[in-house]
Amino acid sequence: MRKIFFTALLLLLAALSGCNQRTNSYFEKKLTFPDLLTSDQKVKLSAYVVPTQSQYEWHQMELGAFIHFGMNTFTGKEWGDGTEDPALFNPADLDADQWASTLQRAGFKMIILTAKHHDGFCLWPTRTTSHSVVSSPWRNGTGDVVKEVKDACERHNMKFGIYLSPWDRNAKSYGDSQQYNAMFAQQLTELLTNYGEIHEVWFDGAHGDEHDSKVQKYDWLHFYQVIDSLQPKALKAIMGNDIRWVGNEEGFGRETEWSITPLQPDISDLFINENIRLGISPTTEDLGSRRIIEEARTIHWYPSEVDVSIRPGWFYHPEEDQQVKTLSQLVDIYFQSVGMNSVLLLNIPPDKRGRIYETDAERLRQFGDYITQTFENEKLTNANMEWKARTGEAREFNVIPGETINMVMLQEDIRKGQRVEEFAVEGWLNDQWIELAKGTTIGYKRLLRFDDVSVSKLRVIISETRDIANISKVGAYHAPHLDNDHHNHSSSK
């Protein structure tokens, strides 16, 4: 009886939600609950919220690269103040193909370039300001970094995104809200019109109210409209409503990471007030538990992206050449991001020449080799399958005889929602089951490391799920040990 009621409710809601509806029973990206629902019904319905096609493709990408390059590369700063002389921008040997080939070989599927950082210097020949490459000596003022990087991405079969800082410390109109919003929309229009397909638009939330007296009220809805009309498949990140900031810049994912959450970016009074009512922000640990869903009015597919730099700063500084993250650190970051239901956006800042510095390039090569080597040898004999798991259900998998494992991979088919709330992985050793790992959420991908063990079988138990879980992958691997290897089995937060 309860089941019949639930199905009827699903169908009714699907019909009511109109454009959010993908099939008869899923809600694409957004679901607004009607008032009459019980807490349990809300939690169960949340299991039917699914990503858009673009969001789904973004999850599958797993690895994206951030490129911070611009005026700061030449002044040695992290935040320029906008008074920098364009004459300073003059990379002697800018080679976007070196960026793209280095990253592509290391497994990265996208590059997001800082087309404009907070100092306002534009890396493309914009018509909105003279504070751009046009006024620089680089390529005699005829250069266009955005175009060179986009073209290199095309040649290396990579996606391309732009970072466009809303905070602009050079623009005279900044603080005159209407005028600056028009300029910003124009900059967006240029970037989204002249360079072919743009896959992600990254709106930084940073603004230096404490440094600058100017107060600018951004017209986010208009910026969204510009993107939606010019590049409907482009994902809006951070201050955008397709991809969420994980909440730190150190490379830590959440132990419990729900892609379904009531959180929305603080772009309107409505969203700001709702976030306050629920007590949530991008840095909140719990963004999707039952308690949060029960209190929510609307929920969204709003997955997390982990942005972190390979160096201490976001921009290249020669004095940090000895502080490029070690392979072991990068691998930990990988397991804490990709392994925790997030996409990793690793920042690689090119140097003053306009090239990825040798140490960073070498580290990327090692990282790519490590990931390939780790995952090329599947240790289960029956790893690829479809498993519709109910709460409490378990399944066994055979390990190739004689193999040692120290990591498992679990995936849910998120096109049917994110559902698992608790699971455990056990190994058959000396005639008994021993626990190897356990966790809460799975989502698009969950990777769990543990000490080397030679078990003949694995058992995965789905201890709690919001509805029948669609497990699309259970895999086991051996991740090579690294010097100063410190296995971080749980979140380092």
| Binding positions for ligand FUL, rule: CB under 6 A | 78, 204, 206, 307, 314
Taking the CA atoms of residue 10, residue 234, residue 336 and residue 340 in that order, the dihedral angle to the nearest 10 degrees is: 10
Least gap, CB of 65 to ligand FUL (angstroms) = 12
Which residues share a beta bridge with 49?
27
Q: Which SS3 state, helix, strand or coil, does residue 277 take?
A: helix
Least gap, CB of 117 to ligand FUL (angstroms) = 6
Would you tell me how many other CB atoms lie within 10 Å of the CB of residue 42? 19
Residue type, 128: T
Least gap, CB of 346 to ligand FUL (angstroms) = 11
Least gap, CB of 80 to ligand FUL (angstroms) = 10
Q: Between residues 115 and 442, which has the closer beta carbon with respect to ligand FUL?
A: 115
Q: Between residues 202 and 444, which has the closer beta carbon with respect to ligand FUL?
A: 202
Q: Between residues 59 and 116, which has the closer beta carbon with respect to ligand FUL?
A: 116
Q: Between residues 26 and 314, which has the closer beta carbon with respect to ligand FUL?
A: 314
Cα 254 off chain centre by: 13
What are the start-end ranges of the E strands in 243-288?
Answer: 244-245, 260-261
Q: Between residues 8 and 206, which has the closer beta carbon with respect to ligand FUL?
A: 206
CB-based contact 471:391 (threshold 8 Å): no
What are the start-end ranges of the E strands in 269-414?
Answer: 298-301, 304-309, 342-347, 384-389, 393-398, 405-412
Place of tokens 């003053």: 352
Report how many helices (DSSP H) and strands (DSSP E) the chain contains, helices first: 12, 21
Q: Between residues 15 and 206, which has the closer beta carbon with respect to ligand FUL?
A: 206
Least gap, CB of 386 to ligand FUL (angstroms) = 38
Nearest partner of 361 among 103, 176, 66, judged by Cα:
103
Q: Which SS3 state, helix, strand or coil, does residue 88 take?
A: helix
Minimal CB distance residue for ligand FUL = 206
Least gap, CB of 204 to ligand FUL (angstroms) = 5
Least gap, CB of 78 to ligand FUL (angstroms) = 6
Instruction: Please state, in angstroms and rounded to a whole number, the distance separating the CA atoms of residues 188 and 147.
Output: 14
Q: Between residues 207 and 466, which has the closer beta carbon with respect to ligand FUL?
A: 207
Q: Between residues 117 and 254, which has the closer beta carbon with respect to ligand FUL?
A: 117
Least gap, CB of 174 to ligand FUL (angstroms) = 16
Q: What angle do CA 32, 35, 39 make, to 5 degrees?
A: 85
CB-based contact 311:320 (threshold 8 Å): yes
CB-based contact 217:36 (threshold 8 Å): no
Instruction: Please state, in angstroms and rounded to a whole number, the distance separating the CA atoms of residues 136 and 243.
Output: 34
